[in-house]
Amino acid sequence: MQGSIFSRRQRVKIRPSLTRLTHGGLEGFWVRPTTPLRRFVAHTGLGERLVPRPGSDRCRVMHGPATRCLPWYFVCIQRSGPHNVREDAGMVQLEAPGETSHNRSFRTHAGYLRGFRILAAGRFQPREKFLRDLADRALAAYDGQIKRARSDVDEVTVRSCLHRAWGTETILCTTAELSHDADLLRMALAWGAVQAYYACYGASQAVLVAEGKSRSEHHNTTQGQVVSLWVDRAFSLAPWSLAAAEPGTRRACASGFLNGPGRPLDLTLHGWAYLGPGQEWDRASKALRTTRDDAVSDALDRAREKKRKERAKAWNAEEAARLTLGKRPRNVPSARLPLLTAAEKATVRSSVRPYTMLDYLYRLRIKANYIDDDLFSQGPEDDSDAISFSATMQDLVATTLLVHELRLGKLLSAAWVLRQADAWLDANSTTSAAHGLAARRAILPPV
C-alpha cells in the first residue's frame, strides 16, 4: 500500500510494507513522519481516507527513545465524509463532524481526573486492592509525623464534618449506581462534580478541626488551610501533597511545583494524550497549573482595577488642590485600566497561594453549578465515557476520604474513628456495601 501525507509544502510517503492493524478498536497504521508535520491527511490509493488520531486513550502518540526520533502517529482509516484537522496546544487534533466545545472540554477534564486518580490509586487495580495499598502507603507516610491532637478538640464538629463527607459520598455513589438510563447518568455527572468536591471538602475540614482549627464557612479559607494540611508538611502523599505554586517559591521545582516526582514536569503533555508510565504526574500538574493560572489572571485584573482607582484618587486630590489655588479645571482623564509593570506583575503572581487537588475539584464544582453544566450532560461522546468519568470521581472521593480517615485515626485514635464509622453505618444501613464507607470499613486499622 502506497500513500502520501500532505502538509502544504511537505510530502511524506507511507511505506508500502506497513501492515494494517487494529488499535483501540480502530483500524489503521502506525506511522512516523520524517519531518515535523503540524497538519496532514493521507490517502491509501484505495478510496480510503486516513486521518491522524493522536491524543486520546484509543489512539496514542508514542515518542521514540532517542532525542532525534519524532512521534509515532496512529493513523486510522475513516471511510465516512471529510474531517477537519485543527491545531491545539501544539498537537494535531481530529475534529470530527458534529464535535462541540463541550466534547473537547469534557475530554480534557476527564484526562485531568484520570491523572489524579492514577496518582491516588494506581493503574488497573480493583477497588479493594488499591484502597488497601493506599492505606499502607498513607500509614507509612504518617508514621512518626503526626502528633496526637489536644484534649480540647471539638469532636462534635469533627463528627459533623465526617458525616457530611460520608453522606455526600453515598449520594454520589448511589446516584451513579441507580442511573441505568444513559441520559440520567449524563445528568448525574454534573451533580457528581459538586458532590465529589463537597465530600472531599468535608473530610478536609474534619482533619483541620481535629488539628485545632475552627471550621471556616468560606471555601477559599479552607482551601488555603488544606495547603498547610498537606503541602507544608514533612511527609508527602500524592496527589494530595502535590501543589502548583509560582516558580521560585521555596522548595518548589523549576516549574513551580511542590512535592512533585523529583524530575522536570512536562506541562506540554496534551490533556487528551495517552498516559505512559509516570505521566500521571504531568497530567495532574497541568490540571493544577491551569487552575492556578485562572486565579492569577483574576488577581492581575484586580490589581489593574486597584491601580486605576488609586490613580483616579490621586488625580482627584491633585485637581482639588489646583482648584483651591484658582487654577482652571482640567479634563477628567480616561478611565481605561492601566498596565502593570513587570515588577508589579511578579508581585501579584507571587501573592497567589499554591493550588492543590481540592482547588481543581472546586473548579469543576463551579463549572457544574454556575458556568457550563452542559459540559457534563453533552460532553461525553458515548456512554462509556460518562461511566468512566463517574467511576473516576468515585475512586478519587474514596481515596481522599480514606487518607483523611486514617489521619484522624492518628490524631484522635483509631478507636474513635471506628466508633463513628460503625454508628454512621448502623444509622444508614440501606447503603450499599460495594462502595462508600461500607467498602472501606474493613480497611480502617483495628483498635
Question: Which tens digits make up the pLDDT trace of 388-426?
Answer: 999 999 999 999 999 999 999 999 999 999 999 999 999
Domain check: are 327 and 394 in the same one? no
Q: Cell numbers at residue 266, please?
A: 512536562
What is the mean predicted confidence (pLDDT) over 279-296? 97
> pLDDT at residue 100 above 80?
yes
- Per the model's pLDDT, the better-predicted residue between 33 and 294 turns out to be 294
Neighbours of 227 (CB within 10 A): 19
Domain check: are 232 and 368 in the same one? yes
Q: Which of 53, 68, 99 is the last residue of a domain?
A: 99
Domain check: are 89 and 157 in the same one? no
Assess if residue 27 is contained within a domain: yes
What is the mean predicted confidence (pLDDT) over 130-141? 95
Q: For the chain, what percentages of helix, strand and coil (3-state, to nearest 5) are there?
A: 50, 10, 40
Q: 242 with 259: CB under 8 angstroms? A: yes
Domain check: are 89 and 113 in the same one? no
Which stretch of 36-50, 120-134, 409-423 has the lowest confidence by average pLDDT?
36-50
The pLDDT assigned to 208 comes to 97
Diameter over CA atoms, the chain: 91
Structure confidence by residue, pLDDT tens digits, 190-228: 999 999 999 999 999 999 999 999 999 999 999 999 999
The set of residues, in sequence order, having a beta carbon less than 8 Å from that of 298 and lying 6+ positions away, is: none
- DSSP β-bridge partners for residue 42: 5, 50
The pLDDT assigned to 51 comes to 44
User: What φ, ψ does residue 13 adopt, rounded to 5°?
Assistant: -90, 145
- DSSP β-bridge partners for residue 244: 257, 355
DSSP H helices, 40-154, are: 101-121, 127-142
Instruction: State the average pLDDT for the chain.
Output: 81
Instruction: Give me the amino acid identity at 311.
Output: R
Side-chain half-sphere CA neighbours of 404 within 13 A: 33
Assess if residue 385 is contained within a domain: yes
Domain check: are 70 and 204 in the same one? no
Domain check: are 310 and 344 in the same one? yes
Please state, in angstroms and rounded to a whole number, the distance separating the CA atoms of residues 192 and 171: 9
The set of residues, in sequence order, having a beta carbon less than 8 Å from that of 72 and lying 6+ positions away, is: 30, 31, 32, 61, 62, 63, 64
Q: Domain range holding 227? A: 104-242+356-440
Looking at the chain, the number of H-run helices and the number of E-run strands are 12, 11
> pLDDT at residue 94 above 80?
no
Q: Which 3 state secondary structure label does DSSP give 84? A: strand
Neighbours of 423 (CB within 10 A): 12
Domain check: are 10 and 114 in the same one? no
Q: Cell numbers at residue 68, please?
A: 532525534
Nearest in space to 271 (alpha carbons), one of 431, 71, 434, 56: 56
User: What φ, ψ does residue 86 adopt, rounded to 5°?
Assistant: -125, 165
The set of residues, in sequence order, having a beta carbon less than 8 Å from that of 143 and lying 6+ positions away, is: none
Domain check: are 122 and 233 in the same one? yes
Q: Which of 312, 327, 351 is the last residue of a domain?
A: 351
> pLDDT at residue 430 above 60?
yes
Domain check: are 364 and 417 in the same one? yes
Q: Which of 99, 117, 138 is the last residue of a domain?
A: 99
Assess if residue 290 is contained within a domain: no
Q: DSSP per residue over 314-357, as a string?
A: HHHHHHHHHHHTTPPPPPPPP-PPPPPPHHHHHHHHHHSPPB-H
Please state, in angstroms and rounded to a whole number, the distance separating the CA atoms of residues 343 and 373: 38
Count of domains for the chain: 3
Domain check: are 332 and 363 in the same one? no
Assess if residue 140 is contained within a domain: yes
